[in-house]
């Protein structure tokens, strides 16, 4: 399975200096689901160790454990040749392990300097020493070469500038291990260059850096070693100049032919057509695509490429700046979700907890929620309770909800079963176009198979289907035709032979990999 034999691995690690931080057999599970399975990982002094893998591979969990935000269920932690336990983020920081997460931990109403010293404010005689904090903040920012004023308020800064503050915060104390979680995701090219210079600078001071990125070009540029995670397991560790093909193979693993149903595509007339769409928030620009009846079409792209925004714009959740969305030839740009539902367009959001289900109410109510006005569920103003129970029960049976109890709240079901509730929900109405945003995020393989069969059945019954996904295997095997998004623009439309890992990834990353 693993690409590199052990000998080679050992060579790689012996070439470097002594291990600064070493993790052995780290396991972690959340409510029964194993997220990390016996993962080994190490960082040496003065190296950049890239952590690579698909979404949900366990990267975030691993760095959360290293940063002290989570504690592992199992495993050993060696830091500077001493076995230790990390109790909290604060404890990790005091040891010299600092993390810069994608989600910012800044207080927007406070200034840069107040944020820098949040939690360890400089005080004298019990009072805040603002002058000293100001000076020290200025020193840190100057040393890092960031063009920021210490007394600026966070909410007036751009996202890139906020990212800089977050990085500066990590440098407040003496750092020996620095964790950077996709630090360049929101930076411009100039800012990215600055960050790389900075990384080279602190490398020379002997700091070990754990770097998470999706961009292959960055791995080449600053990485020394790379570790690939997949489904919570470590696939292997290699030197950063490993061939790209090999990297992709490590990341995506074997092809799950058996998971995907065979689908007879009989594309019919056009159902959805998007012409030169640009959204108000700028996430999507000049996008055109079309979906036909009885066809499954995929949209691939990295996080932040604008692929999710397409689905949201179709359903009237995002304001449209220009362009047109046509449904059955009718212009539906700017309709509200309830109008879209009435027309027969259904959007299944990626975040079940946040946008899909009423976590605290009986699941039955989540299922029937979008169809309450149909005669199946209500008569006049009144809900037909018995009918509702029967209908939802049938749907739960069809989706094989486990346990089969529609009065239980969604919060009491596993992720996979929550997703089944979401899917039961979209069977309550007559729908001609389904837009699935990450249909299999955070579900087990069994549910995954069920969901693919479900989608295949919908398509064979004549529905048009748009699947937006970050899951490469899914994008390669479920749809027949795939649009690839890169930084808000359509970078390719692939089908047939051209629809393969290399091409999709290449277009996902733009041409920066080349």
Partner 1 sequence: MEAKSPKSRNAISHYIRMAFIRLGVLPFLLVAAIIIFTALSDNFLTGRNLLNVVRQSTYLALVAVGQMFALLTGGFDLSVGTILAITSVVGALAMATAYSFMPDALFLAIAIGIIAGVLAGTMIGVVNGIGVAVFDVSPFMMTLGMASVGFGIALYLTGGIPVYGMPIEFGDIFGFGTFLGLPVPVLVAFLLILGMYIVVDRTRLGRHFYAVGGNIKAAHLSGINTNRTLFLAYVLSGFMAAISGILLTARLDSGEANIGASMPLESIAACVIAGVSLRGGIGKVENVVLGALFIGIVQNGMNLARIESYLQIVVIGLLLIFAVIVDRFRIKLVASCQD
Q: Is the CB of 211 or the CB of 315 nearer to partner 1?
A: 315
Peptide bond into 145 cis (omega under 30): no
Return the DSSP state at 354: I
Distances (CA, A) of 232 to 17, 37, 159, 336, 350: 27, 5, 30, 40, 21
The tokens for 21 are 């931080």
* Single residue of 260, 327, 347, 454 touching partner 1 by CB under 8 A: 347
* Single residue of 168, 341, 466, 472 touching partner 1 by CB under 8 A: 341
| Residue 109 engages partner 1 in binding (rule: CB under 8 A) | no
The tokens for 471 are 């899951």
122 contacts 135 by C-beta, under 8 angstroms: no
Q: Shortest approach of partner 1 to residue 441 CB, angstroms?
A: 16
| Residue 319 engages partner 1 in binding (rule: CB under 8 A) | no
The distance of Cα 495 from the centroid of its chain, to the nearest Å, equals 25
Q: Is the CB of 412 or the CB of 498 nearer to partner 1?
A: 412
| Residue 373 engages partner 1 in binding (rule: CB under 8 A) | yes
Q: Other C-beta atoms within 10 Å of 392: how many?
A: 27
| Residue 338 engages partner 1 in binding (rule: CB under 8 A) | yes
Q: Which helix (H) or strand (E) holds 27?
A: strand 19-30
Q: Where are the alpha helices (DSSP H) in 361-465?
A: 363-368, 385-398, 415-425, 445-460
Stretch binding partner 1 (CB under 8 A), from 18-26, 77-85, 382-390, 398-406: 382-390
Residues 6+ away with beta carbon under 8 Å from 128:
121, 122
| Residue 142 engages partner 1 in binding (rule: CB under 8 A) | no
Q: Is the CB of 84 or the CB of 317 nearer to partner 1?
A: 317
Residues 410-429, one symbol each (x = binds partner 1 by CB under 8 A, - = not), give --x------------x----
| Residue 344 engages partner 1 in binding (rule: CB under 8 A) | no
77 contacts 86 by C-beta, under 8 angstroms: yes
Stretch binding partner 1 (CB under 8 A), from 123-131, 318-326, 347-355, 483-491: 347-355
Report 386-415 residues binding partner 1 (CB under 8 A): 412
| Residue 381 engages partner 1 in binding (rule: CB under 8 A) | yes
Q: Shortest approach of partner 1 to residue 351 CB, angstroms?
A: 9
* Single residue of 337, 441, 460, 501 touching partner 1 by CB under 8 A: 337
Q: Shortest approach of partner 1 to residue 248 CB, angstroms?
A: 35
User: d(Cα 58, Cα 64) in Å, to the nearest integer?
Assistant: 10
Residues 352-371, one symbol each (x = binds partner 1 by CB under 8 A, - = not), give --xxxxxxxx---xx--xx-
The tokens for 46 are 């003065």
Which residue, among 449, 455, 454, 458, has the nearest Cα to 468 in the 3D structure? 455
Contact residues toward partner 1 (CB under 8 A) are 315, 317, 337-338, 340-342, 347, 349, 354-361, 365-366, 369-370, 372-373, 378, 381-383, 385, 412, 425
């Amino acid at each position: 399975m693993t690409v590199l034999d052990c000998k080679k691995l050992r060579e790689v690690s012996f070439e470097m200096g002594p291990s600064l931080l070493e993790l052995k057999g780290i396991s972690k599970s959340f409510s029964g689901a194993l997220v990390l399975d016996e993962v080994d990982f190490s960082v040496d002094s003065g190296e950049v160790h890239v952590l690579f893998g698909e979404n949900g591979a366990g990267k975030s969990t691993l760095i959360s454990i290293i940063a002290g935000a989570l504690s592992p269920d199992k495993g050993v932690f060696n830091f500077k040749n001493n076995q230790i336990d990390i109790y909290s983020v604060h404890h990790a920081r005091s040891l010299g392990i600092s993390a810069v997460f994608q989600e910012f931990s800044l207080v927007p109403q406070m200034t840069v300097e107040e944020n820098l010293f949040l939690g360890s404010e400089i005080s004298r005689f019990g009072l805040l020493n603002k002058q000293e904090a100001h000076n020290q903040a200025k020193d840190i920012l100057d040393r890092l070469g960031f063009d920021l004023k210490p007394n600026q308020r966070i909410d007036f800064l751009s996202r890139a500038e906020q990212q800089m503050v977050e990085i500066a915060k990590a440098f407040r104390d003496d750092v020996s291990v620095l964790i950077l979680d996709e630090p360049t995701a929101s930076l411009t090219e100039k800012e990215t260059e600055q960050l790389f210079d900075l990384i080279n600078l602190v490398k020379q001071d002997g700091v070990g850096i754990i770097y998470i990125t999706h961009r292959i070009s960055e791995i080449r540029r600053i990485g020394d070693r790379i570790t690939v995670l997949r489904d919570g397991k470590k696939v292997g560790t290699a030197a950063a100049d490993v061939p790209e093909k090999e990297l992709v193979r490590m990341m995506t693993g074997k092809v799950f032919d058996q998971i995907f149903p065979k689908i007879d595509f009989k594309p019919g007339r056009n159902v959805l057509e998007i012409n030169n769409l640009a959204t108000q928030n700028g996430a999507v620009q000049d996008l055109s695509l079309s979906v036909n009846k009885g066809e499954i079409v995929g949209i691939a792209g990295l996080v932040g490429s604008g692929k999710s925004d397409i689905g949201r714009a179709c359903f009237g959740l995002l304001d449209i700046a220009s362009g047109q969305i046509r449904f059955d030839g009718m212009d539906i740009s700017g309709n509200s979700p309830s109008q879209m539902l009435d027309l027969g367009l259904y959007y299944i959001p990626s975040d079940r907890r946040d946008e899909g289900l009423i976590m605290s109410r009986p699941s039955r109510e989540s299922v029937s929620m979008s169809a309450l006005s149909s005669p199946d569920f209500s008569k006049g103003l009144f809900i037909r309770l018995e009918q509702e129970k029967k209908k939802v029960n049938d749907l739960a049976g069809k989706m094989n909800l486990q346990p089969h109890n529609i009065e239980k709240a969604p919060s009491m079901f596993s992720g996979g079963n929550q997703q089944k509730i979401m899917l039961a929900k979209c069977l309550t109405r007559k729908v001609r176009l389904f837009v699935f945003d990450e249909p299999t995020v955070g579900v087990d393989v069994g549910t995954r198979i069920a969901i693919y069969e479900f989608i295949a059945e919908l398509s064979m019954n004549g529905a048009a289907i748009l699947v937006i996904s970050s899951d490469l295997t899914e994008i390669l095997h479920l749809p027949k035709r795939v649009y690839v998004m890169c930084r808000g623009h359509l970078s390719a439309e692939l089908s047939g032979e051209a629809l393969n890992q290399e091409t999709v990834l290449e277009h996902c990353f733009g041409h920066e990999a080349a």
